[in-house]
Structure 1
Amino acid sequence: MWKKFTTIAMTGVLAVGLAACSKTDGESMNYPERNITIVAPSGAGGGWDLTARAIAKTMNDTKLIEKPITVENKPGGGGAVYMAEFATKEAKNDYALMVKSPPLLINNNKAEGNSPYGYKDTKPLAQLTRDYGAIVVKAESEFETLKDVLEAIKSDPSSVTLAGGSAPGSMDHLVGVLPAFEYGLDPKTVKYVSYDGGGEAVAALLGGNADVIATDASTIGQYVKSGDVRVLAVSSTERLGGELSEVPTFIEEGIDAEFTIWRGIFGPKEMSDAAVGYWEEKLKEMVETDEWKEEIARNGWESEYRDADDFTKYLEEQDQVIVELLTALGMQK
């Protein structure tokens, strides 16, 4: 009788234990259980902001993710300020995601204003788009071509103010000084002023606080359409479509260089396996929806999807490219 009771008791304990384990596992699979935030580590109006809002809108509109997704702008240091928070304070927060592009690699590899945190301090979830850089002036600017700008810098570097929506040594800066470097000028002599986001850089240009800006090609189309600006050249290998279809490439302007701006979404470094798997599945579904394709077309982006594994491998390759570029420009740490 005692033996039988012991067996029953142990069986009961085991059943309770299994039920508890099952409940724990089940709870982890219930992700998400609350609202999700996607952070654009810049001001409003730039590529990160537009990408984050396109993801949130598509996910919310299609109900692919039933919990509401909100977008927060956290500018500072060309993305470096929030990156420090994301890599430390938010390292285990399954409900905080971030949109990033090459500055994630650049800020970690450049000499000045270096960020100790890079892509290895995140969990890459997917690459979603690719874009290119653009050299832009006001519609009434005296500069008619990219060569006009380079010749003015060559004659008197202090006479031309180049602005961008990222910190010195970061993406907009590299896009802006790359033509100067290839033209045989010392990139260190180019007068560069940084703003927190592409929208602020455009405002500086229109307000007369900059002569030229380097920015994302996709975000400038609306200003071209309104007649406020002219794009002198883009960093793609071939001409783009839409409002920029008549704009020459760097190569056409005699500058043997190109620069691709990828954009992707990242989770924190210690994101749970359940959350990672969930986002991988949902992002793969999202890029196939008509709503996402409409966002791609409306923003003038090129679709380029890589899943988590392929994106991570791509980042490893791009990290080497960035180091080579910064080294050539004398900006590598």
Structure 2
Amino acid sequence: MKKMLNNWMKWALAVGLSVNLAACGSGGGTDTTPGTGEQAKTPPASATSYPERQITIVAPSGAGGAFDKAARAIAKVLVDDKKVEQQIMVENQPGGGGSVFMAQFATKEKKNDYKLFVSSPTLLINNLKKDGNSPFGYKDTVPLAQLYRDYGVIVVPANSKYNDLKSLFDDLKADPKKLTLAGGSAPGSVDHLTVMLPAFKYGIDPKTIKYVSYDGKSQSMTALLGGNADILSSVAGEVEQYVKAGKVKVLAVDAPERLGGTFKDVPTIKEAGIDSELVIWRGVFGPKEMSPEAKAFWEDTLKKMSESDSWKEQLKNNNWQADYKNAEEFQKILDEQNSALQELLKTMDMAK
């Protein structure tokens, strides 16, 4: 009996020892560094392991808007072409033209390698306006890539008496309060400046033009078609279906040269004799304290995506103009446009 008990105790001790040894070698969060007698944390994952979980791309707008379309197109191509193995979720965060999202992203998400967002010059404008609603701007992010351009358009209803930009601007110059301009974002935004910049160059005081902002481009289009506005400022991709349906006329496009397809007969603002152009880029950004591994991954991945046939198809379907710029080039564009927009807003007494 005594011998059996001793054998049982030896067996239990051996099992316990083997379990302890297995736990030490399992990589369960701690390790004993030889020669120190101290426990060290498990080393960080290698650069090649990123990304390891679901990624979120934020569209700082409601569903169906320009940012939403951009984010979903990016996510679709990355997943369908297996350029990213993990799931990608598109998250809509509307409010304040993106300022509500930025307040969260620039503070609580500044180290989150798994959250990106798409934006436009609105990111700069919200931060530059003296009555702007965001203390955060592009300098609170890591610019990863510019992917394409969209182009501003100046639109009127199909039955409008205006058939060219000059006649419209002549009437605005004579009586600015006579006509109402609608846009899908706040005063000082891209929609606003698409008309205000050429109007200013034409000799019209931008502060005298009656601008009504709506929550999104679909609502501003509804206002135009419903007779609550005389002019609409939007982007080409958002109005194409209405042009095809014969519901609106596009008087001018804010582009360096005429666009093709549906807009092939629409003159540029410069063709109207007005030296004005507001570049509307669309780009991808990461958090300010993004890790070098994540930044390198996205720079490489977004470049490959921009060269793919799937992405070129998205550009064609949405009437977007391919204009890829890498992170360094994109940073330079942002710096230059930020300075130019600040000067423009000063002329309108809207800069900080």
Same fold (TM over 0.5): yes
The answer on 1:94 being equivalent to 2:113 is yes
Matched with 1:301 is 320
Report the CA distance between 1:114 and its aligned residue. Answer: 4.5
Matched with 1:201 is 220
Is the Cα–Cα contact under 8 Å of residues 48 and 99 in structure 1 kept in the other structure?
yes
The answer on 1:117 being equivalent to 2:136 is yes
Matched with 2:42 is 20
1:265 aligned to which of 284, 289, 296 = 284
2:86 aligned to which of 67, 83, 91 = 67
Is the Cα–Cα contact under 8 Å of residues 36 and 95 in structure 1 kept in the other structure?
yes
2:177 aligned to which of 148, 154, 158 = 158
Cα gap change, 1:141 to 1:91, in 2 (>3 Å): same
* Structure 2 CA distance for aligned equivalents of residues 223 and 17 of structure 1: 66
> Which has the larger displacement, 108-117 or 231-240?
108-117
1:267 corresponds to which letter in structure 2?
G
Give the structure, 1 or 2, with the largest relative contact order (CA under 8 Å, sep 6 or more): 1
**Any gaps of 5 or more consecutive residues in structure 2?**
1-31
* Structure 2 CA distance for aligned equivalents of residues 15 and 230 of structure 1: 78
Report the CA distance between 1:13 and its aligned residue. Answer: 5.1
Matched with 2:16 is none
Matches within 5 A, 1:88-237: 88-237=107-256
1:248 aligned to which of 250, 267, 270 = 267
Where 1:154 maps in the other structure, the secondary structure is helix
How far does the alpha carbon of each residue in 1:30-83 deviate from its partner, in whole angstroms, 9 at most, with x for none? Answer: 222222221111223332222111101111111111112122222222222222
Cα gap change, 1:116 to 1:242, in 2 (>3 Å): same
Using structure 2 for the length normalisation, give the TM-score: 0.85
> Which has the larger displacement, 237-246 or 73-82?
73-82
Matched with 1:6 is none
2:159 corresponds to which letter in structure 1?
E
How far does the alpha carbon of each residue in 1:150-169 deviate from its partner, in whole angstroms, 9 at most, with x for none? Answer: 23323332331111122111
Report the CA distance between 1:15 and its aligned residue. Answer: 12
Report the CA distance between 1:241 and its aligned residue. Answer: 0.9
Is the Cα–Cα contact under 8 Å of residues 87 and 117 in structure 1 kept in the other structure?
yes
* Structure 2 CA distance for aligned equivalents of residues 173 and 192 of structure 1: 7
Cα gap change, 1:44 to 1:206, in 2 (>3 Å): farther
Over the residues paired in the alignment, what is the CA RMSD in angstroms?
2.2
**Any gaps of 5 or more consecutive residues in structure 1?**
1-9
Report the CA distance between 1:100 and its aligned residue. Answer: 0.7
Report the CA distance between 1:19 and its aligned residue. Answer: 9.3
Where 1:116 maps in the other structure, the secondary structure is coil
Higher CA-based Rg = 2
How far does the alpha carbon of each residue in 1:235-277 deviate from its partner, in whole angstroms, 9 at most, with x for none? Answer: 1121111111100111111222122111100011122222212
* Structure 1 CA distance for aligned equivalents of residues 99 and 350 of structure 2: 17
> Which has the larger displacement, 143-152 or 317-326?
143-152
Report the CA distance between 1:306 and its aligned residue. Answer: 1.4
Q: How many residues end up aligned between the 2 structures?
A: 321
1:123 corresponds to which letter in structure 2?
V
* Structure 2 CA distance for aligned equivalents of residues 183 and 19 of structure 1: 65
Report the CA distance between 1:229 and its aligned residue. Answer: 1.5
* Structure 2 CA distance for aligned equivalents of residues 153 and 245 of structure 1: 26
Cα gap change, 1:228 to 1:14, in 2 (>3 Å): farther
Report the CA distance between 1:183 and its aligned residue. Answer: 1.7
How far does the alpha carbon of each residue in 1:153-200 deviate from its partner, in whole angstroms, 9 at most, with x for none? Answer: 233323311111221111110112122211211100111111233233
Matched with 1:43 is 62
Report the CA distance between 1:25 and its aligned residue. Answer: 2.7
Using structure 1 for the length normalisation, give the TM-score: 0.89
Cα gap change, 1:149 to 1:79, in 2 (>3 Å): farther
2:242 corresponds to which letter in structure 1?
Y
